[in-house]
Structure 1
């Protein structure tokens, strides 16, 4: 890599670490272990300017003397920095109360996972907690800015966030979630460290939580958007903001209307597959009857959280046994499954870059009856192996790429890959029974419906209830899960578009390679080409695979 590009890539990765110190710490980068995200408007404006500068510096590098990977690094840095700036310019913290992924619900999950390999990193936790206090104080101010500009959160999100803050503040101080740190290194007096942390929680964090709660309840709530106006389209500048988010999350130029139509087509095409599998699973080929049975039949649902995790591990073991037949490159780090009771229904954590922690995906077992038995295998293949773990762990282990590419996260690529592998698992013969195969269709239904309801709410003005009704009518999700899903899409506009759009594009790239290569096409070589350069916007991915598989 040329000196200019290598230095720029290194500088950009350090910029990314500064913007998200918790992610950096989780990844095994400890230079920012004492920091937490600065959500102030001044910091956001500075980050926007810095990101745009990075994009311009990348674009100024002459690519004529660069090799293929260097050209990808240049293009990837330009895209990532410019996209980061465009999304940050939406100033979503002004209206971003988030009961799904907000700090008040996620920190309790992250803190125990933070490695503390040295006394210096362990001691830095005191400063990190002070940064968390500042974060909540600044977030309260951002919401005040939102009220002043008429850009406010959805009312349900405000109410749910207030309840989460109340739950946190009700915890005994000695049991505060921020004190549940992992093992500490030799040379640290753990009790003394936790005592200093407890003082920060008492004197800084909890007052900041109370301030944030007060602003939400007394200043934001009576301006919040009701369920009829839950989408971005109802905010000043919301229509253009959603187009920006759709471009970012799909890495395409598709309009919300185009995406909506693709979703409707996918929902319709799945009906034929349900009718084919239905008789073996529920004794009917009628789609409405099949969906109702999958949703409501107790025999098709779990009751035991431990069994959910055990079945997920069993599915991954099956996948591990045949990986060598479908992939030339496999990750060195392993992947495990853990239960959780907060956050999304399932999600993946990447391994630490220094090898101190492997990958793990979480199954949310707070409502075990909400998990269909048919859902477990497809979820395990998506979140674990051969899905997110294979893609993310392989990227981190690539030796000839700059760190920013090893840890890049293009959502359409990553989630598209996860969804692609749910169908790939069927090709691999991994689904145990027709019931497990119908789980693959159930997962497809949710992702197809996402294209419809996300664009429906944020571009077409659908109400929250209208979106819930559509999801229940066209997928086997129980009502409680459908509401949780719609609430997630409501507070993270555009993210839900990435899955199906990404999967369809990866399939298109594969079909194009098969047409080009004919009898020369090898599935292992295709998968290696998709995974051997880290996450890429879909246009760059297509050109890269074409160059690798001419």
Structure 2
């Protein structure tokens, strides 16, 4: 049955409501408060329902006759098909069964998210108590899913299980009155904050902590002894793991590249970067010997920070410099601003989008738990990637577009967003934003990490590399310390395929730009190109190429 062209707008609205239901915490973060009392449903039944509903959305979108649609409606239709199909395919991998995650798991991330959840009304305040109950259900359901994984021979990596248990132990041993889920945002004047916190404290004590203890016990007593050792951290060692990784590779890169092809691209990028290090090395660190350059960046105390506040201030200064230059390179700029905050959990740096209702601007977090781990040379490239002109321009502009449905404004297309972030690190060099040769060396160091990711992610998950083999490759080809290289490899081990999106996305955006320059010659305008890339929200890379070609013929 063919649906009416006008149905694409209604279908897009339905799909956004579906996306919110899949991730209520994200919905709350964006300012959608109707699900403030909910949390992610990780049960097998919910997963089955997600797969069925996502497939239905894809079928309904495909049934809309494309010829009757305008440009943005055609993009919405294509995005609906891609996103819904991807959601169904990724959900069908049943990753909750083997997904112990000490990097991004709830036990690691809730402490960062909770204070950022706006509480604008008394109704939302009441819902915070319900949210705690839903979080408790999440942990007990997750324990059941891990039991399913044990039964099917699909278990997590042992290091991930052990690290998650340690995090859960730390949570459960912390004073109840200082529980991470009691650090909430300011409340309205008509809310009795003390009474709300008392109710929440009771929910944490009677529901959340017992559920967390159940999850911990299952990991410790039933999963750990069956977990995969360090020689077998990749998906290739799981039943159906090779097919699962191929699915994730397609999803995260939005291309048809195979893991082997991506592995080879990574090796080529690593070799190319070695030549750039040798060229820049004398002016930055006094040598053109690549191993010596990497050793200096890794080990020289003078090239590393020691103070957390200094790290944040240096990042703010970098963003201020970038902010002042935006008008020369971008036609469209976001209305909302972006700030930097310190954190001591999660990835080394990550961005939170502004709230849709304008109650909160963009913010990116710098993990300062170990200030010495931050090279002085890393601050500017990281700030340009995570903040301005990187993720903040891309995400905030998308949210402010008035002619797109909400699901397009808030879409997650990792290759597009992370490719853009990495693209802007090199763009910042073209803009003259790096303060010194050493700061430019930070740009190369960031590239090295993303090039290494192509090699080690595919190495572990498609070729059977051990955890140590992946660590050794990163140590040999980047400036990462043993501790940071290990943390990076552990992240790729527990989030298969995600790390491929950065460099593959950047290379494709550069290819799209080169094609536009070739078409337009002297008429090429960099501001028009950037606007074409950013004006329609996140798109799979194939759709992006088509869109830019149409806008810049």
Superposed counterparts of 1:404-419, under 5 Å: 404-419=407-422
Match for residue 124 of structure 2?
121
Residue in structure 2 matched with residue 139 of structure 1 by the alignment = 142
Report the number of matched residues.
550
Residue 81, structure 1, aligned to residue 87, structure 2: no
Instruction: Give the structure 2 partner of residue 340 of structure 1.
Output: 343
Alpha-carbon distance, 1:478 to partner: 1.0
CA distance in 2, matches of 1:548, 1:3: 24
1:352 aligns with 2:352: no
Give, in whole Å, the separation in 2 of the partners of 1:323 and 1:162.
Answer: 45
Does structure 2 retain, via aligned residues, the 8 Å contact 1:119–1:186? no
Partners of 1:320 and 1:479 lie apart in 2 by 35
Paired position in structure 1 for 2:181: 178
- Give yes or no for contact 1:129–1:200 (8 Å, CA) kept in 2: yes
Cα pair 1:232 1:457 within 8 Å, conserved: yes
Matched, 1:478 2:481: yes
Q: 1:270 aligns with which of 270, 273, 280?
A: 273
1:212-232 per-residue CA deviation (whole Å, 9 max, x = no partner) reads 000000000000000000000
Distance in 2 (alpha carbons) for counterparts of 1:111 and 1:461: 38
Aligned to 1:35: 38
Residues 378-402 of structure 1, C-alpha deviation per residue, up to 9 Å, x if partnerless?
Answer: 0000000000000000000000000
Identify the match of residue 394 of structure 2 among 369, 391, 402. 391
Q: Secondary structure at the match of 2:366?
A: strand
Task: Name the counterpart of 2:444.
Answer: 441
1:310 aligns to 2:313 (yes or no) = yes
Question: Residues 349-394 of structure 1, C-alpha deviation per residue, up to 9 Å, x if partnerless?
Answer: 0000000000000000111111110000000000000000000000
CA–CA separation in structure 1 for the residues paired with 2:103 and 2:341:
19
Deviation at 1:337, TM superposition (A): 0.2
* CA–CA separation in structure 1 for the residues paired with 2:459 and 2:435: 36
Contact 1:97/1:153 (CA < 8 Å) preserved in 2?
Answer: yes
**Distance of 1:281 and 1:478 partners within structure 2:** 19
- Separation in structure 2 between the aligned mates of residue 229 and residue 273 of structure 1, nearest angstrom: 34
Give the structure 1 partner of residue 332 of structure 2: 329
1:155 aligns with 2:119: no
CA distance in 2, matches of 1:382, 1:293: 23
The SS at the match of 1:347 is strand
Show the counterpart of 2:211.
208
Q: What is aligned with 1:296?
A: 299
Aligned partners of 1:331, 1:27: CA distance in 2, in Å?
Answer: 16
Shift of 1:187: 1.2
Q: Distance in 2 between matches of 1:273 and 1:107?
A: 40
List runs of 5+ in structure 2 lacking aligned partners: none
Q: Specify the alignment match of 2:367 in structure 1.
A: 364
> What residue in structure 1 maps to residue 497 of structure 2?
494
SS across alignment from 1:31:
helix
SS at match of 1:128: helix
What residue in structure 2 maps to residue 67 of structure 1? 70
- Is 1:238 the counterpart of 2:241 in the alignment? yes
Determine which of 94, 108, 111 is the counterpart of 2:111.
108
Counterpart residue number, 1:455: 458
Q: Give the whole-Å Cα distance in 1 for the aligned partners of 2:175 and 2:222.
A: 27
User: C-alpha offsets along residues 323-351 of structure 1, whole Å, 9 cap, x if unaligned?
Assistant: 00000000000000000010000000000
Aligned to 2:546: 543
- State the partner residue of 1:531: 534
Task: For residue 35 of structure 2, give the secondary structure of its aligned residue in structure 1.
Answer: coil
Structure 2 SS opposite 1:363: strand
Per the alignment, in what secondary structure is the counterpart of residue 186 of structure 1? coil
Q: Do the aligned residues in 2 keep the contact of 1:391 with 1:531 (CA within 8 Å)?
A: yes
SS state at 1:90 partner: coil
Match of 2:432 among 422, 429, 434: 429
* 1:339 alignment partner, SS class: strand
Tell me which stretches of 4 or more aligned residues in structure 1 moved more than 2 Å: none
What's the offset of the Cα at 1:2?
Answer: 4.5
* 1:4 Cα deviation after fit: 0.6
> Which secondary structure does the structure 1 equivalent of 2:67 belong to?
coil
> How far did 1:3 drift?
2.8
Q: Distance in 1 between matches of 2:345 and 2:183?
A: 16
TM-score (norm 1): 1.00
Q: CA RMSD for the aligned pairs? A: 0.6
Secondary structure in 2 aligned to 1:361? strand
CA distance in 1: counterparts of 2:324 and 2:217, whole angstroms: 53
Write the distance in 2 (CA, Å) between the matches of 1:244 and 1:367.
35
Cα deviation for residue 282 of structure 1 reads: 1.5
